[in-house]
């Protein structure tokens, strides 16, 4: 699970551990990653962590080698890392787009390429935690939405390419969720942050787990999940 240091990634990691899975947690913050590992530890399954910069190709390669040597196979790859910056297209430096493309598109694609051989032994699943911005854009979200639309295209194409290898590919499009990233976004927008009115990361984890545990006669391809109360 990438982005396992907090938010949705942490909750998915915990849900998988509670379900009985061994989990390998990937993130950039050692302290926050260790906290996730500590939360998963009581369920008595193997929990490992790796610090990885998913904008760095060599770091991704080392992660792939570690997974191959340690496990030899991977059942599920969950992409839950990424960055967001809300700026107007007219004035935002192109470097902002480059940074988001590297983290939100290039990194997940490279990691998928590295892990795919391990997912084919004998079957596997890939989850892309996208965003509602991957379905439609809005003012001030052009750069981020562009990366999320690209990620959706990658998932849709990949699904057609790997279904015959018995690999399922799921895209999840959450609305605004009570995570540190969204809290920071509300602060930037100078709006009151009311987490109880937002989607909870545990909600997203629950629908992901439900899709992952379906019988192998079925595949969920896309999940759109929103806060019940549209107060933002």
In a domain, 2, yes or no: no
Ranges of H-type helices in 7-141: 7-19, 30-40, 57-70, 94-101, 107-119
pTM: 0.94
State the helix-helix crossing angle for 107-119 and 57-70, rounded to 10 degrees.
20
Read off the pLDDT band of 87 (50, 70, 90).
confident
Calpha distance 60→66 (Å, rounded): 10
Residue 42 lies in a domain: yes
Which pair of tokens denotes residue 130?
């996208």
Q: Which of 220, 205, 208, 215 is nearest to 6 (CA)?
A: 205
Residue at 231 is within a domain: no
> Does 116 sit behind a cis peptide bond, omega within 30 degrees of 0 on the bond before it?
no
Q: How many CB atoms lie within 10 A of CB 211?
A: 19
Residue 232 has pLDDT above 80, yes or no: no
Structural domain range at position 202:
7-225
Q: What CATH number is associated with residue 165?
A: 3.40.50.720
Counted domains in the chain: 1
Cβ neighbours of 228 (radius 10 Å): 9
Name residue, tokens 């390998």: 24
The answer as to whether 1 is a domain residue is no
pLDDT surpasses 90 at 15: yes
Domain assignment present for 201? yes
Give domain status of residue 195, yes or no.
yes
Residue 79 belongs to some domain of the structure: yes
**pLDDT tens profile 156-190:** 999 999 999 999 999 999 998 988 888 887 887 78
């Amino acid at each position: 699970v990438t982005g396992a240091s907090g938010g949705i990634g942490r909750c998915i990691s915990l849900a998988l551990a509670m379900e009985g899975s061994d989990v390998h947690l990937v993130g950039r913050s050692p302290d926050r990653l260790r906290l996730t590992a500590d939360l998963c530890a009581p369920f008595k399954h193997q929990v490992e962590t790796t610090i990885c910069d998913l904008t760095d190709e060599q770091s991704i390669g080392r992660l792939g080698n570690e997974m191959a040597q340690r496990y030899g196979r991977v059942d599920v790859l969950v992409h839950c890392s990424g960055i967001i910056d809300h700026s107007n297209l007219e004035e935002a430096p192109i470097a902002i787009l480059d940074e988001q493309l590297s983290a939100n598109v290039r990194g997940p694609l490279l990691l998928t390429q590295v892990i795919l051989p391990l997912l084919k032994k004998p079957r596997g699943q890939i989850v892309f935690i996208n965003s509602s911005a991957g379905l439609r854009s809005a003012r001030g979200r052009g750069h981020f939405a562009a990366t999320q639309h690209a990620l959706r295209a990658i998932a849709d194409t990949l699904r057609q390419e790997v279904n015959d290898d018995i690999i399922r590919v799921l895209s999840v499009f959450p609305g605004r969720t009570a995570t540190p990233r969204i809290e920071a976004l509300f602060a930037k927008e100078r709006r009151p942050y009311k987490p109880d009115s937002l989607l909870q990361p545990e909600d997203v984890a629950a629908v992901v787990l439900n899709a992952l545990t379906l019988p192998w006669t079925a595949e969920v391809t896309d999940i759109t999940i929103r806060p019940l109360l549209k107060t933002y």
